[in-house]
Amino acid sequence: MSNYNFDKEINRKNTSSLKWDFVEERYGAKDLLPMWVADMDFASPDEVVEALVKRAQHPVYGYTGTTDSVYQSVMNWMKNQYDWNISKEAITFSAGVVSGFTTAILALSEPGDKVLIQTPVYTPFFDAIRNNNRELLQSPLRYVDGTMQIDFEHFEEQLKQDVKLFLFCSPHNPGGKVWSKEDLLKIGELCLKYNVVILSDEIHADLCLPNYTHYPIASLSNELAQITVTFMAPSKTFNVAGIQASLIISENEELLQQIQTKQYQIGFHGLNLFAIEVISASYDHGKPWLEELLQYLQQHVETVQTFFKAELPEVTVIAPEASYLVWLDCRALGYSDEELKSRMIEKGKMAISPGMMYGPGGEGFIRLNIGCTTETLQEGLKRVKQALTN
């Protein structure tokens, strides 16, 4: 039986929502259906809303700190979700995951140092490296049998070039790939061999769909824990990205200390008071909601697969194994990226993320956000078809 109604349409307009209120600014057209930026159209778990309301009702909003109970919530969550034992000392906080890994890049490398990523990948990976004058090295991911794979030979060749940091996306955005334990161990072995620190962005980890298991790379051995900094958050999981509450985790004291020093240098002095409430409320009470959400998202993935098979078989669906972003391979249709983009906007009336924004390997793809009601999804699919056919 269902306890949560993910079918309920919630009007998000005029809430300063990036997804809904900034479409015209971003896409240059009005009345587009927004299926782009990665948040969901669902209400967060009741317990999260209640914790925020309760705190908001206390009328004094002065400085706050993170109490032991917040650390305990994080430690319990990691233990229960991933059988991952972390100490309180291994945890620190950042507003967002992007600000977390960007700070880590600043802390753990110097201008000119090489930072490796696997492409295509979430756009801020490129920005965090380039904007800070580090050298960007790329290793391409391959598509085999409708799923992403790592080209380990290429990956190792890149690591040999005196790489300092590997910025890893696990699970992968936009490909939705949950990396297997074998893949993770192989990555770990190579990073240990070439003395490379792993910055592992695991923001989508909690959103593994039924039958997939996420392993935090740092949890796989003590050696890997010592070369890894993990970035996680309740933000994607419980749809609270606007609250800005994220975690930086590393059992390597020195690495974590360097990151904390950099945070102080750039003036970050801790989370805002609502972020503190959200971490505990989500991790302590959000699991039943999350379990139902994942069932709902799984149905959406199947709906997307069925739709394209029947209506537009030229499009290959790279079905996500985690999260709510579907990577659609439109290459067989032969449209240029410009054409794909303009068709989506002009013919489909859709705000969708064009694949090329994720770097090499994203050409000819689009990313569809299915974190919406089934009704919106159906409408979106209709519009995608309209956009892509003549």
Ligand X SMILES: Cc1ncc(COP(=O)(O)O)c(C=O)c1O
Of the pair 169, 340, the CB lying nearest ligand X is at 169
User: In angstroms, what is the minimal distance from the CB of 76 to ligand X?
Assistant: 21
For 19, how many CA atoms within 13 A lie in the half-sphere containing its CB?
22
β-strand pairing of 365-369 with 350-354: antiparallel
Locate 38 and state its tokens. 């990665």
**78 versus 241: smaller Cβ distance to ligand X:** 241
Kindly tell me which of 174 and 307 has the beta carbon lying closer to ligand X.
Answer: 174
Helix (H) or strand (E) holding 142: strand 135-144
Would you say 218 and 205 are in contact if contact means Cβ atoms under 8 Å apart? Answer: no
Q: What's the min distance (Å) between Cβ of 142 and ligand X?
A: 19
Task: Decide if 256 contacts 228 (C-beta within 8 A).
Answer: no
CB burial of residue 144 (10 Å; 0-12, 13-18, 19+):
exposed
Residue 336 CB, nearest distance to ligand X (Å)? Answer: 26
| Per-residue CA distances from 195 to 159, 182, 316 (Å) | 9, 20, 38
User: Cβ of residue 96: shortest distance to ligand X, in angstroms?
Assistant: 3
Shorter beta-carbon distance to ligand X: residue 173 or 239: 173
- Residue 167 or 384 having the CB closest to ligand X: 167
Which amino acid is it at 280?
A: S
Q: Which pair of structure tokens corresponds to residue 380?
A: 């979106």
Shortest gap between Cβ of 173 and ligand X (angstroms)? 4
User: How far apart are alpha carbons 302 and 296 in whole angstroms?
Assistant: 10
- Tell me how far apart the alpha carbons of residues 304 and 344 are, in angstroms, rounded to a whole number: 17
Residue 139 or 235 having the CB closest to ligand X? 235
**CA 322 vs CA 118, 128, 274, 357, 382: distances in Å:** 18, 24, 27, 20, 24
Report the residue number, 322 or 388, with the smaller CB distance to ligand X. Answer: 322
Report in angstroms how near the CB of residue 169 gets to ligand X at its nearest: 5
Q: Which residue is nearest to ligand X (CB)?
A: 96
List residues near ligand X by CB under 6 A. 38, 96-98, 122, 169, 173, 201, 203, 233, 235, 241, 246
Cβ 358 to ligand X shortest distance, Å: 10
Q: Residue 310 CB, nearest distance to ligand X (Å)?
A: 30
Separation between Cα atoms, residue 340 and residue 384, nearest integer Å = 10
- With CA atoms as reference, report the closest residue to 279 among 131, 21, 75: 75
235 vs 250, beta carbon nearer ligand X: 235
Nearest CB to ligand X, comparing residues 233 and 290: 233
Query: What does DSSP say about strands 135-144 and 114-119: parallel, antiparallel, or unpaired?
Result: parallel
Q: Which two tokens stand for residue 110?
A: 């110097």
Interacting residues of 74 by C-beta distance below 8 A, sequence separation 6+: 86, 91, 247, 279, 283
- Cβ 375 to ligand X shortest distance, Å: 24
